[in-house]
Amino acid sequence: MIELLQKVRVIDPVSEIDELFDVLIADGYIREVASHISDISSDTQIRDCQGLVLGPGLVDLYSHSGEPGFEERETLSSFLQAAAAGGFTRVSILPDTSPVIDNPALVAQLQKRRGGTRGQGGQGGQGGNFSPLSSSLPLLHLWGAITVDIAGKQMTELADLASAGVVGFTDGKPLENLALVRRVLEYLQPLGKPVAFWPSDRQLTANGVMREGTNALRFGLPPIPTSAETTALAAMLELVATIGTPVHIMRVSTARSVELIASAKAAGLPITASTTWMHLLLDTKAVKSYHSSLHLDPPLGNPSDMAALRTGVRVGVIDAIAIDHTPYSYEEKVQAFAEAPPGAIGLELALPLLWQYLVETEEFTALELWRALSTNPAECLGEKVSAIVPHQPAELTLFDPQQTWKVERKSLYTLSQNTPWLGQQLKGHVVQTWC
C-alpha cells in the first residue's frame, strides 16, 4: 500500500522539526519527505492532512495488563488495540499479572500469545464505525519481576529472564528492603538491562489515600506525606551513587522529588525518571468529586507538585511521561474513594488530554510533549526511535488535535472504563498508527 500524506504537520523530536511536509509511505517504510511531492504512482492513496499532526509512534514505559489472571479487566488483545488507538507503537507491561512474570517460561508464553491477539478487543471504537487504526499491533515489551512472586524477599533468576527477552526489571511496587535493592543493583550491572524502582515508604504511607495538605483536610481523607516518596527516593539515590548501576525512577509525584532528581543528575548519577500523565493534568483539587478513578498510587499532588512536574518534564529533569494504564472492572471501582483499588485507564486518553491542556495552552511546545511521550521513553528502555526521514520504518502516529469524541464504552477499545473523563467530550483523536 502506498499513501501520500499531504500538508501534514511533522513533529520530529529526533530531528527537532515542527514543519509542514508531504510524506510518502510505501510498504511500511517512509519513502519521501518533502515540501511538495508530485511524482507518485497511479495506485497511491492521497490524503489531505491539513490540520493533522504526524509524529514518531508513542512509547509507553509501563502499564498494567489484566491478562494473564484478570482477563475481565483487560486482555492482551484489548490492551494492544487500546494502545494503537491511543497512538502507541511500543508498550511495556508490568510483571504484576497472575502468575507474576518471574520466569522464562511465562515470558515465552506471553510473547507467543501476543502473536495471536488480533481478535476482538473492546467495542470497536467510535460506535463501531471506526476504521482500523493500524495494520499491525504495537510492539509488546514485558518487564521481568525483580523478586519471586513479587514477595519482596527473594530475587528472581535475573540472568535467565534477561536471556528470555524481558525489556528490563521492576516489581512495579515499592521495594523497601534496601539490602535486597543493593544486591539487585550489583547483580544487574553486567546484564545491561534497565531497572526501574518506585520510591515509596509504605510505613509512612500507612492507610493514606491522598496527598497531605489543606485539600486532604478539607475532604476528610487520610493523608500521605510527601516524605513517603522523598525519603525512599533519597535512599535509592544513595545506593545508585555507591554502586553506579543505572536506574529508572518511576511515578515521580512531588516537587521535592523533582529537586532531588535534578541534584542527582547534576552530580552525574546515571538515572532517568518518569511521572504519569494524570499527575501532569490534575492535582488534589480534583479529588473534590470523590471519583474513585482519582484514587491513584502515588496520589495526585498538590498544585505546587503538579507545577514542578510540568516544569521538570519541560526542562528534562523528568525524562518521560508514562501512562501507567491500570484497568479495573466496574464492580472493583464502584466503591467509596478510600476503598476502591488505586488506578485509572489512560492509553486512549493521554495524548488528546495532554495536547489539549498543555500544548494548546502553550505551556508546552508540541516538540516538548512529543519528546516526552516517544523518543525519551524509548531511550529509558535502551532503545531508539527513528527520525521521520526516507528509508526509515514507518513507526508513526497521525493525530487530529481538533476532532471531538465522547469517552464512553462504545468508543474505547479497552475493556475497562475506570476514568474520571467517562461520559465527557474530548478534543483530539488519533487518526491512525503505523506500527
Per-residue pLDDT tens for 59-76? 999 999 999 999 999 999
Residues 6+ apart with CB under 8 A from 423: 406, 407, 408
Q: Is residue 268 part of a domain?
A: yes
Closest by Cα among 370, 327, 319 to 346 = 327
Q: How far is CA 46 from CA 1, 33, 42, 49, 429, in A?
A: 11, 14, 10, 9, 20
Cell numbers for 369: 510533549
Residues 6+ apart with CB under 8 A from 168: 143, 144, 193, 194, 195, 196, 248, 381, 382
Q: Which residues form the domain of 72?
A: 58-389
Cα 213 versus chain centre, distance: 27
Instruction: Indicate the DSSP class of residue 359.
Output: I
Q: Which pairing describes strands 53-56 and 396-406: parallel, antiparallel, or unpaired? A: antiparallel
DSSP, collapsed to helix, strand or coil, labels residue 17 as strand
Cell numbers for 262: 535534578
Q: How many domains does the chain have?
A: 1
The CATH number assigned to the domain holding 151 equals 3.20.20.140
Q: Is residue 53 part of a domain?
A: no
- Is 400 designated active site? no
What pLDDT is stored for residue 135 in this prediction? 55
What pLDDT is stored for residue 152 in this prediction? 65
What pLDDT is stored for residue 149 in this prediction? 66
DSSP, collapsed to helix, strand or coil, labels residue 103 as coil
10-residue block means of pLDDT along the chain (435 residues)? 96 98 96 94 95 98 96 96 97 96 95 58 39 70 88 86 97 92 96 96 97 97 98 98 98 98 98 98 98 98 98 98 98 97 98 98 98 98 96 97 97 97 98 95
Cell numbers for 321: 511521561
Catalytic residue among 12, 283, 319, 324: 324
**Cα gap 352→128, rounded to integer Å:** 20
Cell numbers for 149: 512472586
What pLDDT is stored for residue 119 in this prediction? 34
Q: Is residue 95 part of a domain?
A: yes
Closest by Cα among 75, 110, 54 to 329 = 75
Q: Is residue 122 part of a domain?
A: yes
What pLDDT is stored for residue 148 in this prediction? 87
The full length of the chain comes to 435
What pLDDT is stored for residue 115 in this prediction? 57
What pLDDT is stored for residue 202 in this prediction? 96
Preceding peptide of 270 cis, ω within 30°: no
Q: Is residue 141 part of a domain?
A: yes
State the pTM of this model.
0.95
Q: Is residue 419 part of a domain?
A: no
Instruction: Indicate the DSSP class of residue 185.
Output: H
Q: Is residue 22 part of a domain?
A: no
Q: Is residue 11 part of a domain?
A: no
DSSP state string for 262-321: HHHHHTT--EEEEEEHHHHH--GGGGGG--GGG--SSPPPPHHHHHHHHHHHHHTSS-EE
Residue labelled with grid coordinates 501507567? 324
What pLDDT is stored for residue 113 in this prediction? 81
What pLDDT is stored for residue 1 in this prediction? 87
